[in-house]
Amino acid sequence: MKALAVYPQQKQFRVIDNHPEPRLDSPSQVRAQMLEVGICGTDKEIVTFEYGDPPEGFDYLVLGHESLAEIVETGSDVTDVVKGDLVVFSVRRPCHDPECIACLSGRQDFCYTGEYQERGIKSRHGFLAAAEDVGAFIWISLSGGPAVGWRAGLPVRFLETAQERRGNSEM
Ligand SMILES: [Zn+2]
Ligand SMILES: [Zn+2]
């Protein structure tokens, strides 16, 4: 599928159309359709090759870490979001060091080892990949419940745009 790929070695970035299609690899994952992807200063630095690391086995990194998506499929273990929910996926994913108390307790923004991964930045592909992507086990639901606090932190226009795209006004 199509994706915006950054090639740090070649100092290039371009749209590619052979990025692997997403699929659920575990029952705790969800598949989502990307609705919006923001571009920030971090992305500018990545496309000027100041940093940005492709995942293992790839010579490119798919860009994009600020996302709004709609759930289209859920694994059998997933109970806190359902198809149709709007979500924002977390960017940083925990390291696997058994000594890293931060990552072990779900506080990977305070990772002690530096071995974390970040979607669209460090060792994990980002969200600027055609229509869909797989988001693993960490998300903030915008459709109600525990994520209500986050709605206040997002620009209202951003959410309205998402509502219009979904064609409903229930939020
Ligand atoms: Zn950013
Ligand atoms: Zn860690």
- Percent of the chain surpassing pLDDT 70: 75
- The whole-number pLDDT of residue 134 equals 53
| Superfamily of segment(s) 3-166 | Medium-chain alcohol dehydrogenases, catalytic domain (3.90.180.10)
Cα-Cα-Cα-Cα dihedral sign, residues 57, 45, 67, 148 = positive
pLDDT digits (tens, 9 = 90+) for 72-119: 888 888 887 888 888 888 888 889 899 999 989 888 889 999 999 999
Q: How far is the CA of 102 from the centre of ligand 2 (A)?
A: 6
Which of the two residues, 19 and 153, has the higher pLDDT score?
19
Ligand in closest contact with the CA of 112: 2
Q: How does residue 148 score in pLDDT terms, banded at 50, 70 and 90?
A: very low
Instruction: Tell how far the Cα of 106 is from the centroid of ligand 2, in angstroms.
Output: 9
Q: Where are the domains of the chain?
A: 3-166
Q: From the CA of 43, how far away is ligand 1's center (Å)?
A: 7
Q: Among the bound ligands, name the one nearest to the CA of residue 108.
A: 2
The Å distance, Cα 97 to ligand 1 centre, comes to 26
Tell which wins on pLDDT, 150 or 102.
Answer: 102
